Structure 1
């Protein structure tokens, strides 16, 4: 068998599409399992193929200890898939966006859960994740891999034609579900955020935040922390104590479906908006109404507040 990195990656891609789009109705558990495993493998192989084109040592976990003999034998520890993304951005100067990186990270998490726990998650989440990653991959292959190929160029182009047709089918399934949910989600838009699993604007905040697209339920504190880590405007993670719930569930700087450009300070458990409230400058936790006179902060028992 003669599978170069590019041929190997394209073969994994074809297999992932087969499991997601060639059978009637929704994919079964086995189809989802192999779709996730093979799509994750395709991402990793194709990203690293681009790194190798820059320099073979960049695929080593520690390029400073890279040896050509180890590379030629395939006897080495390679970098992670997110490590490959960061090297492509920082060393090769590609423009892989934060959103694309997050989509790849979500897929990797699903693959790890499936491999170690035997659980792939919702079929809707997997299809949505796949659509985001596949969109990125097809552009990446066209712009970063295809132009430098000679002998494999025709093979890649033929495969790409097949993949574009199948991607259209998968995206159509996702779009159809989004459209069906529009009426249901419209009145909830003021407290609906982007789901960490499927990346659709369908995670409705409340006692048990539920994504109406992929039907995944989240713990409010975990969801708030995830949001702050992945969407923070600065490097600081801002999680505040909710005065109503008494839990650390207020994520500062949250975007909601109703107005995706405005940043709100919203509780992921009770869905209350505390954007215009103030925070205790001593404990940095307790929120109070802006019209309240400076008084005692319950947690830290001090009296000074400042605008958050």
Structure 2
């Protein structure tokens, strides 16, 4: 008797799955060429969210974001992570840099960092913590031969003032 009661539920699940598959197939043309900007939507969990500087739009469910901070927070929340993980981007100085953002063009790139503000993508090996303030900063050859990389603010604080 219980199995018979589950038939409508099972049929409904099949219908939903069929709808999702058909919708994703129709969206392939819209998303073609944007794989490097397409990630999983925090609302519908489909790989159909196209991000642009300062926001994004999900082609599957229609959700949209108009600020880099809100999309970064929602993305982390959907992964059960907290917004404390959002870091300052060395490119645009926005708190919108997030680790392990997975894109449609490289679903295995778990060691990447992405800025929802300026849409710059970094690999983990491209950034290092500043020796002065711990801010992530591009790895550079230090002019002074020191062991640690310094961001511009820390570098300015450590250089002696010129006396004229």
Query: Which TM-score applies when normalising by structure 1?
Result: 0.42
Backbone CA RMSD of aligned residues: 2.7
Does the alignment pair 1:287 with 2:141? no
- Between the aligned partners of 1:302 and 1:181, the Cα distance in structure 2 is 51
Task: With a CA cutoff of 8 Å and minimum separation of 6, indicate the structure with the bigger relative contact order.
Answer: 2
The runs of 5 or more residues in structure 2 that have no matched partner are 143-148, 159-164
* Corresponding residue to 1:210 among 53, 57, 62: 57
- Between the aligned partners of 2:85 and 2:154, the Cα distance in structure 1 is 18
* Corresponding residue to 2:18 among 165, 168, 172: 172
| Aligned-partner SS, 2:16 | helix
- Decide whether aligned partners of structure 1 residues 265 and 172 sit closer, same or farther in structure 2, where only a CA change above 3 A counts: same
Contact 1:280–1:297, Cα closer than 8 Å, also in 2? no
Does the alignment pair 1:253 with 2:103? no
| Aligned-partner SS, 2:73 | helix
- Between the aligned partners of 2:47 and 2:132, the Cα distance in structure 1 is 35
- Decide whether aligned partners of structure 1 residues 163 and 246 sit closer, same or farther in structure 2, where only a CA change above 3 A counts: same
Q: How does 1:29-48 map to 2 (within 5 A)?
A: none
**Over residues 168-219 of structure 1, what are the superposed CA-to-partner deviations in whole Å (9 max), with x where a residue is unaligned?**
2222221111111112223222232111100001111212211111121123
Shift of 1:236: 9.4
Shift of 1:249: 0.7
**Over residues 48-105 of structure 1, what are the superposed CA-to-partner deviations in whole Å (9 max), with x where a residue is unaligned?**
xxxxxxxxxxxxxxxxxxxxxxxxxxxxxxxxxxxxxxxxxxxxxxxxxxxxxxxxxx
- Between the aligned partners of 2:34 and 2:135, the Cα distance in structure 1 is 27
Contact 1:286–1:297, Cα closer than 8 Å, also in 2? no
- Between the aligned partners of 2:121 and 2:141, the Cα distance in structure 1 is 17
- Between the aligned partners of 2:77 and 2:16, the Cα distance in structure 1 is 29
Q: Which has the higher helix share?
A: 1
- Residue 272 of structure 1 corresponds to which residue in structure 2? 120
Shift of 1:265: 0.1
- Residue 135 of structure 1 corresponds to which residue in structure 2? none
| Aligned-partner SS, 2:102 | strand
- Between the aligned partners of 1:220 and 1:259, the Cα distance in structure 2 is 22
Q: How does 1:105-184 map to 2 (within 5 A)?
A: 154=1, 156-184=2-30
Shift of 1:301: 5.1
Count how many residue pairs are aligned between Structure 1 and Structure 2. Answer: 147
- Residue 201 of structure 1 corresponds to which residue in structure 2? 47
Contact 2:40–2:47, Cα closer than 8 Å, also in 1? yes
Does the alignment pair 1:221 with 2:69? yes
- Residue 146 of structure 2 corresponds to which residue in structure 1? none
Higher Cα radius of gyration:
1
- Decide whether aligned partners of structure 1 residues 225 and 160 sit closer, same or farther in structure 2, where only a CA change above 3 A counts: same
Shift of 1:270: 2.1
